[in-house]
Amino acid sequence: MTGGIAAYKTCEIVSRLVKLGADVWVVMTREAAELVTPLTFRTLSGNPVITNLFDPGLSSLPVLHIAIADKADLILIAPCTANMIGKITGGIADDALTTIVMASKAPKIIAPAMNPNMWENQIVKENVEKLKKLNFKFIGPCEGMLACGVEDIGRMAEPEEIIEKIVGLLGVKQDLKGKQVLVTAGGTTEAIDPVRYISNRSSGKMGYAIAEAARERGAEVTLITAPTNLSVPLDVKVVRVESAAEMLDAVLQNYSKADVVIMAAAVGDYTVNTATSSPTTYDLRLTTKIKKSNKKLMLKLSPTEDILRTLARRKDRKGKIHVGFALETENLIKNAKQKLKEKELDMIVANGPETFGSDNIQFSIVKRSGEAVKYNKITKEKAAQIIISKIVGR
Ligand SMILES: Cc1cc2nc3c(=O)[nH]c(=O)nc-3n(C[C@H](O)[C@H](O)[C@H](O)COP(=O)(O)O)c2cc1C
């Protein structure tokens, strides 16, 4: 725990974890202990509270920080101040909490809570990105009424959500161990000339979340990604592509070893064939930029090759699981079922266009048997876990 006003909410987290059977050890910074008393947490957890590495009262543990760091199956920092995020990112270990965090190999969850200006501070943003890349899991902050009297982003996530995340992480089954999962993500781009392209609104968030969920369950994951602004999940092999043709090539190159193929990418249905601004027809293989003029520019598009349909015809298709995505603006389930049949898929995830760019998704999973299950709006991370569970058949 660090010195954030949300520290009072941590009482509930500790109390609920204890009820779930966890052995909870509370480590507080000096500032946290100014806001809530260590005695409260000693009483709730049933264990001594660590505020000082050199506390003579804890001498029963020979090297306190190593003993606690080794003991932990998971470390949660809730609330986590801007200061603590900065200290961890900077590799500082100058108190009990930072030293234990540095000495532990356990998964770490950070629940930030701070004033919105602090959260939006570029230094904090960069620190958070860096920690995410190092596989620190973040939960929140959320929007709501803050202690500083404004309604904005910065509230610590609710204890319930934090508990759910902890249980999810500790309870993750390694049921994809030894399996190869191929995931595609992002929206492909088709060049018009060296500087312009056509593309779609896909953010890649769903595919990245699926890659991460599969990896968390023990799979070896290859992520073939069209351009996105996302940082790639740790321990995932990444292949970067731009066009639909490049994506097809990359998929074919990685297909034979795959056990599961999940095509979450929004692959362009058309590629640019020629661009004509009478009387000039541009050869798109050239590297010249099309000149701006006030004449109409006609683009001739030709269809791209459908990746899943191509895969369905492969000799080594047998035994592999193919999962597709269907984005439809109308007759969602009917169209998804038709795609599932045409592309010989095992499962299809159907969703509407509101999903593009959003952190959330409302979707249906349609299986080859015709069974269709609808899910209300949830985060893409949660959706990814559900999709993986459905694939594994749990
Ligand atoms: C009443 C009070 C509430 C605070 N709440 C927060 C907070 O919610 N988030 C935050 O980042 N800092 C908050 N601070 C500032 C931190 O306590 C301060 O940056 C401190 O150095 C953090 O130390 P620590 O990270 O070692 O706990 C608060 C300070 C006070 C006095």
Residue 281 lies in a domain: no
Residue 292 lies in a domain: no
Query: Per-residue pLDDT for 116 more than 80?
Result: yes
- Are 81 and 107 contained in the same domain? yes
- Are 380 and 327 contained in the same domain? yes
Query: In this structure, are residues 240 and 185 in contact, taking their beta carbons and an 8 Å threshold?
Result: no
Tens digits of residue pLDDT in 156-183: 999 988 998 898 788 777 789 899 999 9
Tens digits of residue pLDDT in 379-393: 898 899 999 999 998
Domain of 121 in residue numbering reads as 7-170
- Are 111 and 218 contained in the same domain? no
Task: Write down the residue that tokens 């097809």 correspond to.
Answer: 248
Q: What is the rounded CA–CA span in Å between residue 119 and residue 128?
A: 10
Residue with the smallest CA separation from ligand 1 atom 6 is 4
State if residue 346 touches ligand 1 by the CB under 6 angstroms criterion.
no
pLDDT at site 72: 94
Distance of CA 289 to the CA centre of its chain: 37
Of the residues 143, 170, 197, the one at which a domain ends: 170
Residue 245 lies in a domain: yes
Query: Per-residue pLDDT for 394 more than 90?
Result: no
CB under 8 Å to 272, separation ≥6 — which residues?
A: 190, 191, 192, 198, 284, 299, 300, 301
Give the helix/strand (H/E) hosting 360: strand 360-367
Residue 298 lies in a domain: no
The CATH number of whichever domain residue 231 belongs to comes to: 3.40.50.10300
The atom number, within ligand 1, closest to the CA of 2 reads 27
Note if 80 is an active site residue: no
Q: How many CB atoms lie within 10 A of CB 83?
A: 17
- Are 98 and 117 contained in the same domain? yes
Q: Ligand 1, from 1, 5, 145: best to mutate by most atoms within 8 Å of Cβ?
A: 5
Q: Is 267 in a helix, a strand, or coil?
A: coil
Tens digits of residue pLDDT in 281-337: 877 666 778 888 899 999 999 999 999 999 999 999 999 999 999 998 889 899 999
Q: Ligand 1, from 1, 29, 31, 155: best to mutate by most atoms within 8 Å of Cβ?
A: 31
Residue with the smallest CA separation from ligand 1 atom 28 is 4
Give the side-chain half-sphere CA count within 13 A for 123.
Answer: 10
Q: What is the rounded CA–CA span in Å between residue 272 and residue 343?
A: 24
- pTM given for the model: 0.63
Torsions phi, psi for 186 (to 5 deg): 90, 175
Residue 58 lies in a domain: yes
- Are 216 and 153 contained in the same domain? no
Residue 295 lies in a domain: no
- Are 164 and 185 contained in the same domain? no
Say which DSSP state 115 is in: -
Residue 293 lies in a domain: no
Q: Could you tell me which of 28, 381, 19 has the C-alpha nearest to residue 216? A: 381
- The total number of structural domains that make up the chain: 2
State if residue 159 touches ligand 1 by the CB under 6 angstroms criterion.
no
Residue with the smallest CA separation from ligand 1 atom 22 is 3
State if residue 77 touches ligand 1 by the CB under 6 angstroms criterion.
no
- Are 163 and 233 contained in the same domain? no
- Are 212 and 247 contained in the same domain? yes
For residue 160, give the amino acid letter.
E
State if residue 10 touches ligand 1 by the CB under 6 angstroms criterion.
no
Of the residues 142, 170, 198, the one at which a domain ends: 170
Task: Give, rounded to a whole angstrom, the gap between the first and last alpha carbons of the chain.
Answer: 36
State if residue 180 touches ligand 1 by the CB under 6 angstroms criterion.
no
- Are 44 and 111 contained in the same domain? yes
Q: Could you tell me which of 278, 277, 185, 170 has the C-alpha nearest to residue 216? A: 170
- Are 250 and 228 contained in the same domain? yes
Q: Both tokens of residue 384?
A: 């990814």
Query: In this structure, are residues 146 and 152 in contact, taking their beta carbons and an 8 Å threshold?
Result: yes
Of the residues 139, 170, 201, the one at which a domain ends: 170
Residue 286 lies in a domain: no
State if residue 140 touches ligand 1 by the CB under 6 angstroms criterion.
no
- Are 206 and 112 contained in the same domain? no
Q: Both tokens of residue 357?
A: 């760019």
